Structure 1
């Protein structure tokens, strides 16, 4: 399956300003190289850029979103987290249905450096649900501004929140195991809905992680997934995951959690003779999510746009 190196390739936002600057993630020709190496069978970004008179598409625009509902997941001085629904334009919510969709959110009137990247938990007709863990100044400011009836500023959608998405796309009717812990439980719901909606089956192993709270169980069950809540364990439930993989043939293992979880599950797969494909949620720092600011750079890749190789 040929996959563009860039999540935005061929979208409403392509070609972007990176093409104009000779920094295109997907197109080697626009980067000044002599040969086409994109390996993609979709729309030719180079041709599109030349035909348009070397004009770039507009960036995603900021919109005001009204907070409809808010509920606490956890409270207390140690860990705070909450879920809220925001009213957004219908077109935006429609494009947020894809697995890996996320938006940048900040308090209204605050500068862009307060942007917080948040995965879309669910997409409604003209609203989206988002889960936030309060961990620093930006999320604290967002928590204070997220009051029912008040407006926040939102930019999106972006689609690079789930790496390895091509494994889900190429396996219609496949079997997927999701391991989701902490606030990343929210990231597990869209891919579960995507897989079951295409005739596949999903088993979800959920853990409270640093939140000490499992909040996505009912929502995942509504997608048709089989859900198991994991107890706290010294080995972080790796033995339970290994037992599940040994007893059932899965096509894809999806890790939704911290980078340490991603690494532990990758190491587990390396010890298998015929392991499933691996997908994982992105934990990169982001500010603009347009490949410009450099916050997301990892191993030479612009992580807010690029399909990352496994292990990066």
Structure 2
């Protein structure tokens, strides 16, 4: 979520679910943990974020996706954009990034985004209104693949789009095959390294 190079700290969020994340939860203050990385490809459509300047941008995030959206917001604000953030806390009790969001001059709208695999009418109306009333230079989505895909379907090619890269990564070099994505029958891409427009990633994919 955030990095402070002056004091050498990294701020991140971990969703405690399985045996591995529960082990992380058991770590006490002062204990050491081995961190593997860095992985450099956490966002798809990166060029769209870099090119979004002095305009109006929209960031949509749900659940744990609120964490990886922070570097995107930081960059968009640094580029002189006015940023509207649509937040869905998902299964969490609170929006756990409120303190970090307070560091930026952004508009925050809380909204339910996804129900039974489909984006809500509330979100559709909100997106349509923002596009109609503003010249939106970017919509960024940080959440599950199904949310990313449904929003992509809804906006089509009307607005430039970027999203979080949810591919599983292991070696970070494209050698192990953990991140492989195949589409259009025979095309294989290594998602830990490939930068691509999101619309090409989600074509003909089966999303659960």
Which residue pairs with 1:277 in the alignment? 160
Bigger RCO (CA 8 Å, 6+ sep)? 2
Between the aligned partners of 1:228 and 1:130, the Cα distance in structure 2 is 23
Provide the secondary structure at the position in 1 that maps to 2:131.
helix
**CA-CA distance at 1:244 after TM superposition:** 2.3
Aligned to 2:176: 293
The 3-state SS of whatever aligns with 2:23 is: helix
Deviations 1:62-81 (A, max 9, x none): xxxxxxxxxxxxxxxxxxxx
Whole-angstrom distance in 2 between the partners of 1:298 and 1:164: 16
- Inter-partner Cα distance in structure 1 for 2:135 and 2:23: 45
Residues 173-195 of structure 1 deviation map (CA, whole Å, 9 limit, x = unaligned): 23210001101101111111111
Instruction: Give the structure 1 partner of residue 19 of structure 2.
Output: 137
Q: Is 1:206–1:217's contact at 8 Å kept on the other side of the alignment?
A: no
Aligned-pair distance for 1:212?
4.2
- Cα distance in 1, alignment partners of residues 147 and 193 from structure 2: 23
Aligned residue number for residue 303 of structure 1: 191
Q: Distance in 1 between matches of 2:189 and 2:19?
A: 27
Structure 2: gaps spanning 5 or more residues? 183-187, 202-208
Listed as ranges, the matches of 1:154-193 within 5 Å are 154-193=35-74
Cα distance change of structure 1 residues 298 and 201 upon mapping to structure 2, 3 Å threshold: same
Larger radius of gyration: 1
TM-score with structure 2 setting the length: 0.82
User: Aligned in 2, Cα 1:302/1:266: closer, same or farther, shift over 3 Å?
Assistant: same
Is the contact made by 1:164 and 1:280 (CA closer than 8 Å) also made in structure 2? yes
Q: Which moved more, 1:232-241 or 1:131-140?
A: 232-241
For residues 232 and 224 of structure 1, what CA distance do their matches in structure 2 show? 23
Distance in structure 1 (CA, Å) of the matches to 2:142 and 2:126: 16
Quickly say closer, same or farther: Cα 1:293–1:164, change in 2 above 3 A: same
Q: What is aligned with 1:122?
A: 2
2:87 aligned to which of 206, 213, 225: 206
The number of residues matched between the two structures is 188
Q: Does 1:253 align with 2:142?
A: no
Provide the rounded CA distance (Å) in 1 between the counterparts of 2:11 and 2:102: 17
Point out where structure 1 has 5 or more consecutive residues left out of the alignment: 1-120
Question: How far does residue 213 in structure 1 lie from its aligned partner after superposition?
Answer: 2.9
Report deviation, 1:275: 1.5
Aligned to 1:225: 106
Following the alignment from structure 1 to structure 2, what is the Cα–Cα distance between the partners of residues 179 and 190? 14
Q: What CA distance in whole angstroms lies between the structure 2 residues aligned with 1:139 and 1:208? A: 20
